Amino acid sequence: MKELAKDNSIVPVQGIAEFIQDVRLRKISGSLKLASRTLKLLMDLVSKESWNTAEQLLALIRNQGLFLAEAIPHDIVVANTIRRVMKIVREEYDSSRVVHFDDGQSILSLHKLVTQGADPERDDYSKPMPGLKNALVDHLSEVETELETTGDSISAQAAEHIHSAELIMTIGYSRAVEKFLRKAAETRPIEVVVVECAPDCRGQQLAANLGRAKIQTTLISDAAIFAIMSRINKIIIGTHSVLANGGLQAVCGTYSLALSAKHFSVPVIVLAPTYKLTPVHLCNYEQGDFNILGNTEAVLPFESLAARFTKAYNPLFDYVPPELVTLFITNNGTNAPSYIYRLIGELYHPDDNQL
């Protein structure tokens, strides 16, 4: 907000204002749709806007990205997509610079790999590079294809992690989890316990979908998690985002689920596409900074007598520390929580962690 206050001349390019409005009206929902739409806007920015150097393009993306991130701060995948595109711009510029100055040799020598940190031109993006725009468009098209195949890449690993006749528990509704369980059920019999995740009770939708797929499914209330946990073989959940330390910003109720799993030594497996990995740390436990408050009408109707003198809060997310997570399954493979920092280092440039 401070940077926006300093520069009041930031005007969103065509499409960004409409995108923000659609997100706020819930016409666009779901992390994959948000990431894909953000990437499409940035591809238009690269291909249609006027810029001559990588430095100008980075400034353009940063300004528009800051506008987006400030307008919809809780949809972290939007900021993640912006950061990744900025990393791609830097990589393509460095690659073009190597080709241009090393007579077509695109592979750095061992000496240059060791000494490139001392290269004074390494972080200088002010020189125009021929062919940079075309290279960026091609690279971003590859990222777009990667986003489209993310769900298939994760579900393809189901057979490695779910074995025959296992009892699996999950919470709420996640498209990734549904696809993962459906894929596992194609080759082996499994039984699924779904926690309904009150008060929104989105777990009911997942239970109904799995039931239609001929998967034996049991729907339980949040209060029954601890009672049934001793029978569970594995917990497989989705997440809203994965923080830099390997912690989760997940649907409310996940923390109590993970604590119960730790008590009974049940492994917790998290399905996390790479676009949900974010270089953000949980700085404090204030709910206003981390959480979103939902509607409490399902718990305490507005017209009820108790609503006159009662304050009700419906937080949408829980913070789950990395110690309670056993394994992450991404579209690039499986990783322990302690390895998340390395994946984030490969996805984003340190200078872009703060937009």
CATH (domain of 262)? 3.40.50.10470
* Domain end residue (candidates: 112, 146, 180): 146
In a 13 Å sphere around the CA of 243, the CA atoms on its Cβ side amount to: 18
pLDDT at residue 6, rounded to an integer: 45
Match 């031109």 to its residue by tokens. 121
Task: Using the Cα atoms of residue 329, residue 332, residue 336 and residue 340 in order, give the sign of their dihedral.
Answer: negative
Q: Cite the beta strand spans of the chain per DSSP E.
A: 167-171, 191-195, 216-220, 234-237, 241-242, 248-251, 268-271, 317-320, 327-330, 333-335
User: At 93, which CATH number?
Assistant: 1.20.120
CA 1 to each of CA 57, 67, 320: distance values in angstroms, whole numbers, following the listed order: 21, 9, 28
Same domain as 275, residue 319: yes
Q: What does the block give as tokens for 169?
A: 């528990």
Q: Does residue 261 sit within a domain?
A: yes
* Domain end residue (candidates: 118, 146, 174): 146
Range of the domain at 314: 162-352
Same domain as 280, residue 321: yes
Question: Rounded distance, CA 291 to CA 294, Å?
Answer: 10
Same domain as 90, residue 177: no
In a 13 Å sphere around the CA of 216, the CA atoms on its Cβ side amount to: 9
Q: Does residue 338 sit within a domain?
A: yes
Q: From the CB of residue 181, how many other CB atoms can be counted at a distance below 10 Å?
A: 25
In a 13 Å sphere around the CA of 131, the CA atoms on its Cβ side amount to: 8
Question: Rounded distance, CA 302 to CA 289, Å?
Answer: 26
Same domain as 317, residue 256: yes
Closest alpha carbon to 83 in 273, 296, 333, 275: 275
Same domain as 138, residue 215: no
* Order of strands across the sheet that contains 248-251: 241-242, 248-251, 317-320
Mean pLDDT by 10 residues, the chain (355 residues): 48 84 87 92 89 89 89 89 93 74 49 54 74 89 92 92 93 94 93 92 93 94 94 95 92 94 96 93 66 81 83 87 95 92 91 84
Q: Does residue 105 sit within a domain?
A: no
